Amino acid sequence: MLRIGIVAGEASGDMLGGLLMQALKNKRSDIEFVGIAGPKMMREGAQSLFPMERLSVRGYLEVIKHALGLMRIRRQLIKHFLNHRVDLFIGIDAPDFNFHIEKKLKKQGIKTIHYVSPSIWAWRKNRLNKIKRAVSHVLTLFPFESALYQEAGVPVSYVGHPLADAIPLQPDTAAARAALRLKPTDLVVAMLPGSRQSEVQEHATLFIQTAKKMHADYPHAVFLVPFVTRESKQIFELALFHEHEPLPIQILFGHAHDAMHAADVVIAASGTATLEAALLKKPMVITYRMPILSWWVLKRMLMQPYVGLPNVLAGKFIVPELLQHDATPEKLAETAIKLLSDTDALEEMKAEFSKIHLSLKQNNAEKASNMILADFS
């Protein structure tokens, strides 16, 4: 029996973890997974000791507010992993939470793998020494990250991104629309306010007001808003209820991929959803809001002018970003509408998205599982 401790902190990590677990089980049938998992990982057999939503905290002030609870969870996890002696620990993203666990376990002779590099290329590059002390190996999703770890003497492997493997190079929008029973003549706008409850609280009214302004110009527009948890869905529904005006907003439970696949344009909170939209070759506008003090701290630490993954991967602004004070319903609606009518900008965007897709298509799960099991064959 190979016992693997595994911790994911949000929906994107749960997706990565589920695919990784599936690949690992295809190679070995005697693996047991325990830690913190979301629904996709639990479907693959992971035992979750705490709800994954407990880790979905963003921003400095929010982390401070929940610090005692997070530290308690972390201590209990470490105790469990040591008392029940896992052979290996995999921390999926959630670096501030997972690095501490990895450091403690590594000191006890347990191999630690961190899957998904934190954004050291964007800010806090001084974390490399901390990472080196905590992890045995880093698995990176993006090609430019490996050189940073190699320079610091941290074992690293670039494994590509599983979304690039899963999404076809030429998506079939018509089929996606048919699956969602959308008319071919509809203007379909996918709106993704974030996977965390705190993100939805920050973005719900912004997105609803944006839909209202776009609908005034495009009465045939349909707005698809998918959610991964009932709690986040309820937050948005409450904000919509307070609007007191009927809008063609279809709230979906799950189906984020389908919503973006069917869309003419995507408006998304910065995060993994923006990468998925790029791989689907969808024109998009990236936005984000957070509490003002958290934004002030983060802005001072940024090392490059963009935050959206498509722009980071392209190394230039190919997707409009409207962040914090620029994230207004007027600007979001205006930018999305303008983008739909700018043929040259659309073609350039799609060409860059195709380049990104090809660079990330690396048979991710196969590469990652081979590396992870190399010491346990």
Q: How many Å apart are CA 61 and CA 133, to the nearest integer?
A: 27
Q: Cβ atoms within 10 A of the Cβ of 368, count?
A: 25
Q: How far is the CA of 236 from the CAs of 203, 207, 208, 247, in angstroms?
A: 9, 9, 9, 13
Q: Tens digits of per-residue pLDDT, 16-59?
A: 999 999 999 999 999 999 999 999 999 999 999 999 888 765 55
The HSE-up count of residue 311 (CA atoms within 13 Å, CB side) is 19
- Of 34, 18, 28, 14, nearest to 375 by C-alpha is 28
Report the pLDDT value the prediction gives residue 224, as an integer from 0 to 100: 97
Do the Cβ atoms of 214 and 222 come closer than 8 Å? no
Q: How far is the CA of 325 from the CAs of 146, 191, 289, 291, in angstroms?
A: 34, 19, 8, 11
Report the pLDDT value the prediction gives residue 60, as an integer from 0 to 100: 46
Read off the pTM. Answer: 0.81
The mean pLDDT of 240-256, rounded to a whole number, is 89
- Of 46, 5, 313, nearest to 160 by C-alpha is 313
The mean pLDDT of 96-125, rounded to a whole number, is 87
The mean pLDDT of 196-223, rounded to a whole number, is 94
Q: Tens digits of per-residue pLDDT, 192-205?
A: 999 888 899 999 99
Report the pLDDT value the prediction gives residue 245, as an integer from 0 to 100: 79
User: Residues of the chain with pLDDT > 90: what percent?
Assistant: 72
Report the pLDDT value the prediction gives residue 246, as an integer from 0 to 100: 85
Instruction: Name the token pair of 307.
Output: 């935050």
Report the pLDDT value the prediction gives residue 260, as an integer from 0 to 100: 97
124: alpha, beta or left, given left = phi > 0 and alpha = psi -120 to 50?
left
The pLDDT of residue 79 is above 50? yes
Q: How many Å apart are CA 222 and CA 190, to the nearest integer?
A: 8
Report the pLDDT value the prediction gives residue 292, as an integer from 0 to 100: 78
Instruction: Name the token pair of 227.
Output: 């959610």
Domains of the chain: 2-160+362-376 (3.40.50.2000), 173-360 (3.40.50.2000)
